[in-house]
Structure 1
């Protein structure tokens, strides 16, 4: 069971991460596509890749990763840090979807610097996850703020943050 779950997790991760690295390159093709049928083909292909291939792979990667947590009982500090970066990767996934929704309207652009920035941020996030998984570094819990050591403190922090952000 463990081997099959891990195999599914790795396969889904390869599709998810590869797809996320491909999407900024596709989005950068927006301007070159111009208007009319080439633009509609690019839009349809990009949406298809995101909705039918990349997002289900993300779901499978996260679901199989969750199953692996339960099967392997991995509850260590390096793993918590890895989950933080997986959260960043998930946020980048959502951001990419929002860009896809808005980019194909008239007069929208996805400049080369945005493509490069997206690829750099994605690559750094993926490399951080890969390093954490392979190195399994010893993380000194003394470096973690006291906020994360006290039960209920994260809720208090979130409540205070929401109050500051709401008018």
Structure 2
């Protein structure tokens, strides 16, 4: 069971790190002035998404599901955590669509949009970690 928890934790760290790193890579495309610089940014972005973020996301979700069933976890906090993880998956898919769009040199990221792209995963990750560590009872129950 400890190995499953370690696998989940490590894969989650990699996934979260890449979700924070990808918006910065998107900004590199905007600042590329030569074809070579753009190609380098493109390769870095595709590698980060396809070889790091996506496998880490799959492993984190599978190992997390395994932990839920192995430990028979339940509670209202788990429902909210799973909802937030689903939103992280949506952001991950959004990043994938950006990777594709940047391959065609459309949808270059503005600095204002970059701020939003960093704020969204930070808020989601913070909430997921809080729910996982605090396991609050009755989060949205009437007092």
Tell me the TM-score range normalised by the shorter chain: over 0.9
Structure 1 residue ranges (4+ consecutive) displaced by more than 6 angstroms after TM superposition: none
Query: How many equivalent residue pairs?
Result: 142
Computing the radius of gyration from Cα coordinates, the structure with the larger value is 1
Structure 1: unaligned runs, 5 residues or longer: 144-167
Q: Any idea what the Cα deviations from partners look like across 1:66-98, whole Å, max 9, x if unmatched?
A: 100111101111011100000000000000000
Query: 1:135-159 CA distances to partner (integer Å, 9 max, x unpaired)?
Result: 111125756xxxxxxxxxxxxxxxx
C-alpha separation in 2, matches of 1:109 and 1:27: 7
Greater RCO, 1 or 2 (C-alpha within 8 Å, sep 6+): 2
Matched residue, 1:138:
137
TM-score under structure 2 length normalisation:
0.94
Unaligned runs of 5+ residues in structure 2 are: none
Q: CA RMSD in A?
A: 1.4
Taking structure 1 as the reference length, the TM-score comes to: 0.81
Distance 1:65 1:137 in 2: 18
> Where does residue 32 of structure 2 map in the other structure?
33
2:58: which partner in 1?
Answer: 59
- Once the two structures are superposed, the pairs formed by residues 14-93 of structure 1 within 5 Å of their partners are 14-93=13-92
8 A contact 1:78–1:132 mirrored in 2? yes
